[in-house]
Amino acid sequence: MSVVATPASAYTNVCRDTTGIDCIRSTGYLGASTWGHPVDASGNNCTNYAALRAAENGASNPGNLGNARDWDNKAAGYGIRVDTTPVVGAIAQWEANSGYAGSYGHVAYVES
Q: Where are the domains of the chain?
A: 28-109
Q: How far apart are CA 55 and CA 52, in angstroms?
A: 5
pLDDT band at 100 (very low <50, low <70, confident <90, very high): confident
Return the H-helix or E-strand segment holding 3: none
pTM for this one? 0.77
Q: How far apart are CA 112 and CA 100, in angstroms?
A: 19
> Tens digit of pLDDT for each residue in 4-20?
444 445 445 566 655 66
> Tens digit of pLDDT for each residue in 26-62?
777 888 888 888 888 877 888 888 888 888 888 888 8
Residue 78 CA to its chain's centroid (Å): 15
Q: Are 68 and 94 in contact (CB under 8 A)?
A: yes
